[in-house]
Amino acid sequence: MQALRDGGLVILPTETVYGLAGNAADPVAVAAIFEAKGRPRFNPLISHVADLAMAETLAVFDDRARKLAEAFWPGPLTLVLPIAPDTAVCDLARAGLDTVALRIPAHPLARQLLVAFGGPVVAPSANRSGRPSPTIYADAMEETGDKVRAALDGGPCEIGLESTVVALLDAPRLLRPGSVTRAQIEALIGPLAEADADAKRSPGRLARHYSPRAPVRLEAMGAEPGEAYLAFGPGAHRWNLSPTGDLREAAARLFAYLREADRTDPSAIAVAPIPREGLGEAINDRLKRAAGFVG
Ligand code: TXA
Ligand code: MG
């Protein structure tokens, strides 16, 4: 906590992925995050807050935003909203936009830190830009551990995929699918428009993202010689995302297995087909990006 006050960075566990955290109100700390990740500065960061009262000092909530916040916070949903007149989130954290991305994480260590700190904390995933997000402490340390003043070990992340991002600026848009599913959101606020229609509003949706070093081959029914194989469903494999075909389990394992497979220096990482419904939308989104296809 003191590390954050001093402008330092902290490795922070959340229920989705490990974050690289800094004071959202301090442009020097925020600049250090962009630098540590090698992240392009046009790609804004998510501000994490302790509670709805703090969130409402940073952004303007309409009825749709309140409904989603009540239903899913604390949890893996990020809302992109118009900034409040004296928002504490600095310009650089927002990449100069007049909107801000907010979420209340559910992980107890993250919540404790946010409550103690008492202000907004930016935390992009703790990977270097373009690499898979870390979902275990060791992977977070390997990515950006040398750039931080403190690191919190919260064990493996329960969800394993980054939060769902929804923009509520005009028509609601799904900017990034996640474990809060499209269907869950649409049940509360009606149809979601696609992000692709307005790339400016989703600057994070670069084609190549979440990528291991090895090329990724999708919809693979098995491995070619030299390839590593990420299986899904019954069968004995070194990396089986879920032998029982459970999408939650597959999401939680995905990034750690991509990293493990990558470390064996395969000619490619072949990945079994994953169903597209529910959480499968988010898993397939990350896989497409890992493979280098535009989402
Ligand atoms: O699960 C998560 O959300 C993790 C954990 C650590 O909380 N954080 C995370 O942050 O994934 P990051 O920075 O890697 O992803 C933020 C996403 C990017 O796609 C970014 O473009 C988008 O949110 N974003 C942030 N602010 C935005 C804004 N004002 N307008 C549109 N998109 C925004
Ligand atoms: Mg990220």
Which pLDDT does position 109 carry in this prediction? 98
Report domain extents, the chain.
2-201, 216-290
Q: Residue 130 in 3-state DSSP?
A: coil
Which CATH number applies to 2-201: 3.90.870.10, 3.30.450.30, 3.90.730.10, 2.40.160.10? 3.90.870.10
176 lines ligand 1 (CB under 6 A): yes
Please count the CA atoms within 13 angstroms of the CA of 126 that sit on its side-chain side: 35
Buried/exposed code over 24-52 (b: 16+ C-beta within 10 A; e: otherwise): bbbeebbbbbbebbebeeebbbbbbbbeb
**Helix-then-strand count for the chain, H and E:** 9, 14
**Which residues sit with Cβ closer than 5 angstroms to ligand 2, an ion?**
125
Which pLDDT does position 295 carry in this prediction? 42
* Cα–Cα distance for residue pair 237/243, rounded to 1 Å: 9
110 lines ligand 1 (CB under 6 A): no
* Cα–Cα distance for residue pair 92/76, rounded to 1 Å: 23
Which pLDDT does position 1 carry in this prediction? 78
CA distances from 265 to 65, 71, 192 (A): 45, 43, 40
> Which of 227, 202, 206, 231 is CA-nearest to residue 215?
227
* Cα–Cα distance for residue pair 258/211, rounded to 1 Å: 9
- Kindly give the confidence (pLDDT) of every residue in the chain, 295 residues in length, as a single tens digit, with 9 standing for 90 and above: 799 999 999 999 999 999 999 999 999 999 999 999 999 999 999 999 999 999 999 999 999 999 999 999 999 999 999 999 999 999 999 999 999 999 999 999 999 999 999 999 999 999 999 899 999 999 999 999 999 999 999 999 999 999 999 999 999 999 999 999 999 999 999 999 987 655 544 555 554 567 899 999 999 999 999 999 999 999 999 999 999 999 999 999 999 999 999 999 999 999 999 999 999 999 999 999 999 875 4
Q: Ligand 1 pocket: which of 81, 90, 165 to mutate (most atoms <8 Å of CB)?
A: 165
> CA end-to-end span of the chain, whole Å?
37
Q: Which segments within 74-204 are labelled E, that is strand?
A: 77-82, 99-103, 121-122, 150-151, 164-167, 173-176, 193-194
Buried/exposed code over 242-278 (b: 16+ C-beta within 10 A; e: otherwise): beeeebebbbbbbbbbbbbbbeeebebbbbbebeeee
Ligand positioned closest to the Cα atom of 128 = 2
Ligand positioned closest to the Cα atom of 131 = 2
203 lines ligand 1 (CB under 6 A): yes
> Chain-centre distance of CA 38, in angstroms?
16
